[in-house]
Chain A
């Protein structure tokens, strides 16, 4: 079992739908991350939150909208996605990104399919 919980595990949505991915951790970590992973590829960083504030946006299209309502929760709001957005979306957390030499803890991801 992972210490980072992502819901839902699978999501199928049309291009006009609005949906949200959720991520939760109770390890007291103050840094949280969203990654996108296509099949047989490495994870690609999308967003980084530090102390509930957005620190990094890796030029992600605006149809992806992150939100960090508190230190334990991270959401990714989806709207008007394209078929190429189908992927595994991974959430991760680490203790405090002000310091190096920390591992990241990953959830098992949400597998997203866009019809």
Chain B
């Protein structure tokens, strides 16, 4: 049931650097969402981009969507140690707010 693939699987950067992670998916979508999961916790919604949008910003987050390539990217600018977490894209397909999550990127931000 897995819809998306993310890369890289793991990313380690210094605090203050930018982090970019990519998501590719297989079928048409209604929207694509990004979630963060801290170790041992539930997922937290970060940002939603609709299928007719190409770019969206929220604070230090920038998301792009290319439906022709079936891909999305999440950019976190000026990273902080608190950004250390796993990041998942989730594609909303079909009818009814039904999500399939990508494989995830594990981000480590070194202070």
How many residues of B sit at the interface, in one of the four size bands?
20 to 34
Q: Are A101 and B48 in contact (CB under 8 A)?
A: yes
- What total count of A-B pairs have CB within 8 Å? 73
Does A4 belong to the interface (CB within 8 Å)? yes
Does A8 belong to the interface (CB within 8 Å)? no
Interface members, chain B 77-107 (any A CB < 8 Å) = 88, 90, 92, 95-104, 106
How many residues of A sit at the interface, in one of the four size bands?
20 to 34
Q: Per-position contact with B for A55-96: 1 when CB-CB < 8 Å, else 0?
A: 110100000000000000000000000000000001010101
Nearest to A48 among chain B residues (CB) is B98
Nearest to A9 among chain B residues (CB) is B40
| Residues of A close to B33: CB separation below 8 A | 103
| Residues of B close to A98: CB separation below 8 A | 96
B interface, by DSSP: helix, strand, loop or mixed?
Answer: strand
Question: Which residue of A43, A100, A104, A111 contacts B30 across the interface (Cβ within 8 Å)?
Answer: A100
Measured between alpha carbons, how far is A44 from B90 in the docked complex, in Å? 11
| Residues of A close to B64: CB separation below 8 A | none
Q: Are B100 and A45 in contact (CB under 8 A)?
A: yes
Smallest CB-CB A-B distances: 7 pairs: A106-B42, A42-B101, A103-B45, A97-B97, A100-B30, A106-B43, A97-B96
Which of A's residues lie within 8 Å of B, judged by CB? 2, 4, 6, 31, 40-45, 48, 50, 55-56, 58, 90, 92, 94, 96-109, 111
